[in-house]
Structure 1
Amino acid sequence: MNRRSRRKVLGFCMLFLTAAIWGLAFIAQRDGADYLGPFSFMAARNWISLAAMSPLSFLLYRKNLRQRDGAGRGREGLLALFAGGAACGFFLCMGGAAQQYALPMSTAAKAGFISALYVVWVPLLGLFLFRKKEGMRTWIGTGLSIVGLYLLCMKEGLRLGMGDLMLLLCAFLYAMQIICVEHFIRKAEGIYLALLQILASAFLSTILMFLLERPTASDFWAALPSLLYVGIFSGAAGYTMQIMAQAYVDSTIASLILSLESVFSAVFGFLLLGQSLSGREILGCAFMLAAILFSQLPGIGTKEELSSAG
């Protein structure tokens, strides 16, 4: 197995592990929401992530310099690094806050599946922002996601609850974060991009915490177990592995693997919290998972897609 193949296999493994970590994070985030507001929770988890990432980022960066072609060095790379860190950090902060706000009003399974609609948003945003022609699979995935959302969320007429709307906003913001990563990872050093997006998210969430919320020291102490998990594993490890893997794995395949966080969230919600879904909600989850698969699997729809897949 050559070096390129080994890197690709390593990228697959990192993405699968990231999906599992993020799926379990729904449990920790929901517990933390009992004590802290969304921006207070985001601020604390981000600063913990920075503390965990700083020494590791330095070591991985030195190793990366020996293995890669020097991408991210020079003035252009430096500008891309800071611009990418700011953009990715903004969407990461706001998406995480929207999700954190919604979690007390939802189950881990529902939150995981609706949040995973970012893989439907990614090709749609690519179509409208960059004129990327996705073909029939995008529209099939969108239609399936609408059906799934209806079955999962709308129990009393055509009405979405506030929690469901915030999760949809979260999916949109996370899609923008993935698009930003895909754009800037080609120009900036991945390890430092991961570090700077967390730094930007930490500063923004801290400012909004002081403006909008009034947490106490006892609130942070009560939420500490949840904060340590999401800060170290979901934040420091998860987002670093995502950015590193996207340098070696095609973005379509990466999004598909990461979308498995929705499956992990449902499994962990059942095993750890005893949360169950009705038959209607399970059917809705199935439609939404099908939407994720249709939106990301290549070779479905047009002749262009079939030829490009070959």
Structure 2
Amino acid sequence: MKKQELKSVLMLLLTAAIWGFAFVAQRVGMQHVGAFTFNGIRFALGSLSLLPVIYFFDKKSKENNPEKNKEKENVKLTIKSGIVAGSVLFIAASLQQVGLIYTTAGKAGFITSLYIVLVPILGIFLKQKTHFTTWIGALTAVIGLYFLSVNESFTIEFGDLLEIIGAFFWAAHIQLIDKYVKNIDAVKLSSVQFASCAILSIITAFIFEDINFSGITNAAIPILYGGIMSAGVAYTLQAIGQKHAKPSHAAIALSMEALFAAIGGIWLLSERLPLRGYVGCALMLTGMLIAQSENLKNSKADASQ
């Protein structure tokens, strides 16, 4: 069980890498289309990209276990859960994108990452056990994110307020996924939640934004990456990975997207970090190791028995 949890954490780290590099795609894409247009199209692509995956696994499952597939799937539960998760995802993603209009990327990255602390706090209300080392790791990671992302004085402006509210919804989304994937198929859940988020985003885009084909064409590559990789692949890896990872550990692993975003900026946008940025990266890695120390200790103990 402990080994499976470690595999899940690695899967969540891969998710963080995909999301981190998506910041590059978002920066380029937002030069051509609005926030809701970008989110609407990319999440629609994310939902559609999962349909072949669902078909493949359903077909494979029927071949391996015909009797099991005679049971009627709880389609209503999957749709209901997907709509709820998709609605929360829509709010979180929208607040993040719109907030970026009124605040800097550094502030947005730090404030959004506050969800790694909010997840274990929410877990207390849900009667989830959180080890003391997880709290130390979370605080260390937050300090690291501060050094990595914040380059100016911290002030509460309108954009900052949107990001703070959004952090609560990102934390709630992690908790919802953790709850739902225990009872329904993770890939089907992802497809439904993406479709729900896409519909809500497109409706909002038609109301508040000027949608034009030229802008969408110019943003095609960023949108494709955001839809297929950042949504279709990454969110599915998140849903599958969270089956065996504690929500608090999952939050810290996923928070590493800020580190990968910095790597993407250096590699693809020729950005350079100041010394405090590299200190932040080191602190984030340290926080990750501290949070996983108890799990690693137990895994070694299980292996020696």
Q: TM-score range by the shorter chain?
A: 0.7 to 0.9
| CA distance in structure 2 between the aligned counterparts of 1:214 and 1:225, rounded to whole angstroms | 20
1:216 aligns to what?
212
Shift of 1:287: 5.4
Relative distance call for 1:98 and 1:206 in structure 2 (3 A) is same
Q: Identity of aligned pairs, percent?
A: 31
- Unaligned 5+ segments in structure 1 are 301-305
Distance between the aligned counterparts of 1:289 and 1:102, measured in 2? 27
Q: Deviation per CA, 1:108-145: give whole Å up to 9, x if none.
A: x76555433322221011123x1435364565466556
Q: Distance in 2 between matches of 1:9 and 1:144?
A: 20
Residues 233 and 163 (structure 1 numbering): CA distance in 2 closer, same or farther, change over 3 Å?
Answer: same
Please say which of residues 281-290 and 191-200 is displaced more in the overlay: 281-290
Q: Specify whether residues 137 and 212 from structure 1 end up closer, same or farther in structure 2 by C-alpha distance, changes over 3 A only.
A: farther
Secondary structure in structure 2 of the residue aligned to 1:247:
coil
Match of 2:55 among 58, 74, 80: 58
Q: Corresponding residue for 2:171?
A: 175
Name the counterpart of 1:18: 15
Q: Is 1:106 paired with 2:104?
A: yes
Compared CA separation, residues 273 and 79, structure 1 to 2 (3 A): same
Q: Any residues of structure 2 matched to 1:164-243 within 5 Å, and which?
A: 164-243=160-239
1:62-73 maps to which residues of 2 (within 5 A)?
Answer: 62-64=59-61, 66=64
Letter in 1 for 2:50: M
Paired with 2:99 and 2:283, the residues of 1 have a C-alpha distance of 21
Task: Work out whether 1:92 is the aligned partner of 2:89.
Answer: yes
User: CA separation in 1, counterparts of 2:146 and 2:253?
Assistant: 24
RMSD: 3.7
Q: Measure, in 2, the Cα distance between the counterparts of 1:135 and 1:173.
A: 23
Structure-2 separation of matches of 1:69 and 1:13 = 33
Once residues 237 and 131 of structure 2 are traced to their aligned partners in structure 1, the CA distance between those partners, rounded to angstroms, is: 30
SS in 2 for 1:36: coil
Distance 1:270 1:163, change over 3 A: farther
Structure 1 Cα separation of the partners of residues 77 and 294 of structure 2 = 33
Instruction: State the Cα distance separating 1:177 from its structure 2 match.
Output: 1.1
Residue number in structure 1 paired with 2:156: 160
2:234 aligns to what SS in structure 1? helix
Q: Aligned letter for 1:24?
A: F
Q: State the partner residue of 1:297.
A: 292
Decide whether aligned partners of structure 1 residues 194 and 70 sit closer, same or farther in structure 2, where only a CA change above 3 A counts.
farther
TM-score normalised per structure 2: 0.79
Paired positions, count: 296
Counterpart contact for 1:78–1:188, Cα < 8 Å: no
TM-aligned CA distance change 1:250 to 1:37, over 3 Å: same
